[in-house]
């Protein structure tokens, strides 16, 4: 009987290796084929062919990850060009000092006097407690050239000594009807008939001369910000609130005129402020007394009311003032533009690329103060993208409200820092920065 021959051991080992390798190859091919089918199905099932993130549940089936809910704060607009000196200053400031810089108030708001006409020890003590970013003056504060110059000079010196940075000293000096200085008989300066008359001339060199002349006497007195020009286009014949303060009904002419006033002011040492974005010329209501509305959409306003602002940004105004107009067709409710993130950040910052200071119109106007508390209005404006808060109805309540919002997380430290950086950047660029 023949014995069965056994295979040598050296032959069995390679055969085992070959079998293992072939098995691995087959598994890899199978997995790759499955992944390709999954990727193809995913690409076909999403808009634009973009793949969604995938996960596998315990049973092995493929599931798309749900999109994260957009519940966090809006992205903060941070200026790309901030000097290191400014960044260092902001880092050294307390939260209270930063919050104070966001406010532009009357001298009475911090001193509690009826009508401030001098700046003495009471002013100094008040500024030590509330080193605000800006102070605005009205006719009640203005008696004559010497008095006004001395008051502004002392106030500025106090600010530099106490806060280490200059203070904005502002005034409404549009020319024409709104002229706090030229309207005082004790000042021998030119007072214009109206900006409408300048617009009717269709001569943009006259608009430049207006800005140049305003700056010549405002700077000499001690002001560094003029809340002018008015860039509103009259698109509603029933509008009497703006009236002859506007250059007229032609959007492009108004844009050209307003831009030249900006250049005339800023070429001669005074910061200009285009107002009232996105435009109040189509309203009939007075936002000083009630809510002001337009039945247009933002897209429609871009074709008329916004043109002077869109074009005016090219003149690089140091400030743009946001008006309290409600645009329900676009915003969905009665929120004023001055408190709307869609308007301030979405349009003015992101779409039109404005990198200067955004300041609200006066927050004590009934369009705002009749609906929101001083704290609510101030926090909403900052959340929307405003840098400075003009004249809240109760400054101290508004100031506390901003501090509380940062401490609670409703306002981020990053959001506050971004605005303070823009404020200090302008002060460093234009003024005597210590």
Catalytic entry in 122, 288, 350, 394: 288
Find the distance separating the first CA and the last CA of the chain, reported in whole Å.
115
- The encoded tokens of residue 334 equal 């009665």
Q: Give the residue from 281, 186, 200 showing the smallest Cα distance to 243.
A: 281
What are the tokens at 325? Answer: 């107009």
Instruction: State how far the Cα of 239 lies from the Cα of 280, in Å rounded to an integer.
Output: 9
- Interatomic CA distance for residues 397 and 315, integer angstroms: 36
Question: Is 361 noted as a catalytic residue in this protein?
Answer: yes
Q: How many CB atoms lie within 10 A of CB 57?
A: 8
- Element at 21 (helix H, strand E): helix 9-44
Angle between helices 204-221 and 251-266 (to 10 degrees): 30
276 included as an active-site residue: no
* Cβ pair 258, 247 in contact under 8 A: yes
- Compute CA distances 345 → 196, 224, 355, 395, whole Å: 31, 26, 11, 24
DSSP sequence for 296-348: S-HHHHHTTTTHHHHHHGGG--SEEEEP-EE-HHHHSS--BGGG-HIIIIIII
Strand partners, 162: none
Q: How would you write 240-292 as a 3-class SS string? A: CCCHHHCCCCCHHHHHHHHHHHHHHHHCCCCEEEEEEECCCCCCCCCCCCCCE
In terms of Cα–Cα distance, which of 407, 355, 419 is closest to 382?
A: 419
From the list 230, 244, 256, 361, the catalytic residue is 361
Q: Is 47 helix (H, G, I), strand (E, B) or coil?
A: helix
Q: According to DSSP H, which parts of 73-178 are helical?
A: 84-92, 95-101, 107-111, 121-129, 145-163
Neighbours of 355 (CB within 10 A): 15
Per the CB < 8 A criterion, the answer to whether 99 and 406 are in contact is: yes
Task: Write out the catalytic residue numbers.
Answer: 288, 361
């Amino acid at each position: 009987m023949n014995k069965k021959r056994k295979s040598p051991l050296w032959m069995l080992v390679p055969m085992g290796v070959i079998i293992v390798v072939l098995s691995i190859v087959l598994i890899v091919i199978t997995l790759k084929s499955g992944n390709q089918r999954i990727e193809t199905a995913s690409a076909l099932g999403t808009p634009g062919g973009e793949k969604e993130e995938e996960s596998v549940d315990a049973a092995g089936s493929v599931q798309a990850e749900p999109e994260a809910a957009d519940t966090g704060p809006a992205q903060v607009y941070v200026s790309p060009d901030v000097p290191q000196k400014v960044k260092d200053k902001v880092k050294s400031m307390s939260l209270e000092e930063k919050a104070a810089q966001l406010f532009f108030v009357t001298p009475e708001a911090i001193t509690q006097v009826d009508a401030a006409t001098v700046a003495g020890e009471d002013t100094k003590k008040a500024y030590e407690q509330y080193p605000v970013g800006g102070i605005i003056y009205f006719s009640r504060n203005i008696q004559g050239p010497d008095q006004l110059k001395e008051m502004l000079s002392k106030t500025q010196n106090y600010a530099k000594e106490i806060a280490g940075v200059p203070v904005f000293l502002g005034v409404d000096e549009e020319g024409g009807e709104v002229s706090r200085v030229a309207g005082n008989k004790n000042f021998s300066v030119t007072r214009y008939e109206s900006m409408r008359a300048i617009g009717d001339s269709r001569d943009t060199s006259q608009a430049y001369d207006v800005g140049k002349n305003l700056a010549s006497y405002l700077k000499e007195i001690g002001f560094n910000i003029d809340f002018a020009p008015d860039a509103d286009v009259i698109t509603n014949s029933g509008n009497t609130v703006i009236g002859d303060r506007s250059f007229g009904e032609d959007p492009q002419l108004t844009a050209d005129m307003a831009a030249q006033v900006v250049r005339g002011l800023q070429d001669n040492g005074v910061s200009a402020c285009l107002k009232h974005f996105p435009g109040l010329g189509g309203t009939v209501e007075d936002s000083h007394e009630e809510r002001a509305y337009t039945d247009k959409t933002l897209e429609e306003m871009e074709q008329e009311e916004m043109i002077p602002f869109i074009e005016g940004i090219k003149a690089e105004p140091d400030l743009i003032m946001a008006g309290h107009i409600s645009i329900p067709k676009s915003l969905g409710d009665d929120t004023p533009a001055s408190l709307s993130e869609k308007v301030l950040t979405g349009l003015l910052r992101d779409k039109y690329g404005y990198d200067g200071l955004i300041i609200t119109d006066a927050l004590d106007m009934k369009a705002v103060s009749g609906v929101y508390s001083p704290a609510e209005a101030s926090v909403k404006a900052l959340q929307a993208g405003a840098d400075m808060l003009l004249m809240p109805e109760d400054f101290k309540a508004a100031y506390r409200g901003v501090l509380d919002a940062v401490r609670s997380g409703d306002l981020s430290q990053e959001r506050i820092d971004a605005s303070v950086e823009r404020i200090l950047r302008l002060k460093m660029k234009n003024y005597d920065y210590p």
